[in-house]
Amino acid sequence: MRAALLLLLVATVSNVVAMATDNEIQLRPRSTRTEPAVARNGMIATSEPLAVETGLRILKQGGNAVDAAIAAGAMIGLTEPMSCGIGGDLFAIVWDAKTQKLYGLNASGRAPYAATIEEYRRRGHRYVPIRGPLSWTVPGCVDGWAELHRKFGSMPWAELFEPAIQAAENGFPVAPKIARAWAASRNLLRQWETSANTYLPNGRAPRAGELFRNPDLARTYRLIASGGRDAFYRGPIAERIVAESRRLGGLFTLKDFEDHRSTWVEPVSTTYKGYTVWELPPNGQGIAVLQMLNILEGFDLKSMGHNTAEYLHVLIETKKIVFEDRAAYYADPEFADVPIAALISKKYAAHRRRLIDLNRARLEVPLEDPRLVVSDTIYMTVVDKDRNCVSYIQSNYYGFGSGIVPDGLGFCLQNRGALFALDPKHPNCLQPHKRPFHTIIPAFVTREGKPGFCFGVMGGDMQPQGQVQVLLNMIEFGMDPQKAGAAPRFCHFGSSTPRADHHMTDGGRVGLEHGIGEEVRQGLRRKGHTLLPPGGAFGGFQGILIDHKRGLLIGGSEVRKDGYAAGY
């Protein structure tokens, strides 16, 4: 084994495993703010407590990782409704213990057939609106659940919805950080009567610890539990959504729902110092992680020191370069020629690495064709007793998505369509039945053909940046999953996005989390970086490390969220 792997495992074991007098390993079933969870049989980590408990209950009942992810996904759509739900999309990477193989699921939805650039321009739009019915794409979540269950599920479909149905009918206590996010969206929800009726009982957002009930969502879940995915796409739920679309001037028809299908895709990978890191190909942004790692592998990051000005400078400059490629090339490969192999190649990374000046921030990044050089949420991870693994992410995009709850259904519809460009020359331009560029990305790490680390970081553009920082914290600096996720992070803003120009003019802005000191801030300023005031959003991490030697699962969960990692 390489020194990096030994360092990681030694640091992990020394931090999380206490030895009892009989020389047996002392397990810690739940993570804390400073220590990871340690368990033998199964584990789940996500951002909301009831979702964690739901997934853990399914594992203890004999369900596998996919069963637990679906049940927890239904629960968190109820309990963290601003972040995700059945009005949104999901992506997943599954390690199947039986076949010893990774599978990728793209369960993102497509634009309505009536959605054309000409129609949006006729309505006076230069960009796809951020909120409202014109930001809608077909929700892919339910079909994603159905595909996961069809291929890997072991428990009856209907049983997986019962915990969420009971919580929706009887009520659940709202978690503190979720309550704050809920309150921040109150003005949005008040714009639509159906949204306010669902999510602002008594005219306000529920406070932390208050019980919230959603009987409409309970009824919707019962329809899905009894009727399967067709209840959503070919039955009363689709009919209700389309009726709401007609009432509000949207573009949905029943055919948009009838024709929706998720797609099983081959995950793509690169290596970093002996580890193989896996992501899903576009229309998501997962390959940005692979591109960043390829560039960073050429630097001696460990010698720079963790979160020093020199270290952060290299990461920020790498992010700028990769996000220029993201803006130019990432799109639905069914509609655009996306040069995936070229973008994630080591040769292209070496070429782009030359753009980094170790002493000065770059204000503009040139765009190149990689083929000429090379010849957005909640995240959840589940591992079961057989070491089936699910790296799983689902999202509404913005908080409460489009802001609109179809009458009587109990969930809001996403606003992923806002990521389309209305420039017909752009690969991510709006077209009928096309998937938009997507920000949500599950991740997975293997070592010598075995599952090693199942993880993700939610948070829009922060996701690739956060994934890279967590991986480097573990591989370069030997942190366990909890410490790797809790360490202060940076977030760079201002690189191009699919709806912006391809070139930056000012180098963007850098947000630094509390815990990164003034000396580092001054060092970055001297290199030419423009810093934002302290504070802001830095994503939400969850991860489970598989220690095959000791037969342990070691889980970390985002201290910036309400949830935790738990196992048994």
Q: Kindly list the catalytic residues.
A: 377
* Helix (H) / strand (E) containing 159: none
Closest to 56 measured CA to CA, from 544, 558, 547: 544
Please answer whether residues 473 and 541 qualify as being in contact, where contact means their C-beta atoms are separated by less than 8 angstroms. Answer: no
Q: How far is the C-alpha of 211 from the C-alpha of 166, rounded, in Å?
A: 13
Q: How far is the C-alpha of 359 from the C-alpha of 52, rounded, in Å?
A: 45
Please answer whether residues 438 and 108 qualify as being in contact, where contact means their C-beta atoms are separated by less than 8 angstroms. Answer: yes
Q: Which amino acid is at 338?
A: V
Q: How far is the C-alpha of 282 from the C-alpha of 266, rounded, in Å?
A: 11
Please answer whether residues 532 and 493 qualify as being in contact, where contact means their C-beta atoms are separated by less than 8 angstroms. Answer: yes
Closest to 352 measured CA to CA, from 306, 294, 282: 294
Angle at 238 between CA 237 and CA 239, to 5 degrees: 90
Q: Where are the beta strands (DSSP E) in 6-85?
A: 18-19, 25-26, 37-39, 43-46
Distances (CA, A) of 482 to 37, 300, 303, 362, 461: 8, 24, 23, 33, 22
Q: How far is CA 304 from the centre of its chain?
A: 29
Residue 207, both tokens: 């406070």
Please answer whether residues 342 and 4 qualify as being in contact, where contact means their C-beta atoms are separated by less than 8 angstroms. Answer: no
Tokens 């790490």 belong to residue: 445
Q: How far is the C-alpha of 348 from the C-alpha of 56, rounded, in Å?
A: 43
Please answer whether residues 142 and 224 qualify as being in contact, where contact means their C-beta atoms are separated by less than 8 angstroms. Answer: yes
Sign of the dihedral through C-alpha 513, 516, 518, 524: negative
Query: Is residue 232 classed as helix, strand or coil in its secondary structure?
Result: helix
Q: How far is the C-alpha of 549 from the C-alpha of 25, rounded, in Å?
A: 13
